[in-house]
Amino acid sequence: MFRQIFTQAKKHPSLIPLFIFIGAGGTGAALYVLRLAMFNPDVSWDRKNNPEPWNKLGPNDQYKFFSVNVDYSKLKKEGPEF
């Protein structure tokens, strides 16, 4: 597969930016899915020891990728303890 990409890039040099951007987009998408699988509280890899990981989050834990208006370090807990 890589040999075919290199031969096409040698024949048509204008395709090199296309290959770079497609590769960067695929890598970025794979890294984002890996981040969601590892750090999202909705995903539970260990059901025996931690069946509900979202209950262990504090009010100041940021689990969103990007937050515009909320400073999570200054939030206080509003609900009861379960």
Q: Which of 12-16, 20-24, 62-66 has the lowest mean pLDDT?
A: 62-66
Cα–Cα distances (Å) from 48 to 16, 45, 52, 53, 61, in that order, read 49, 9, 10, 11, 23
Whether pLDDT at 42 is above 90 = no
Angular region, 58: left φ>0, alpha ψ -120 to 50, beta rest: beta
Q: pLDDT tens across 51-62, in order? A: 777 777 766 666
Asked if 74 contacts 62 with a C-beta cutoff of 8 angstroms, the reply is no
Q: Look up the pTM and report it.
A: 0.58
- How far apart are alpha carbons 9 and 38 in whole angstroms? 36
Amino acid of residue 28: G
pLDDT recorded at residue 44: 73
Evaluate if residue 65 carries a pLDDT over 80: no
CB-based contact 82:55 (threshold 8 Å): yes
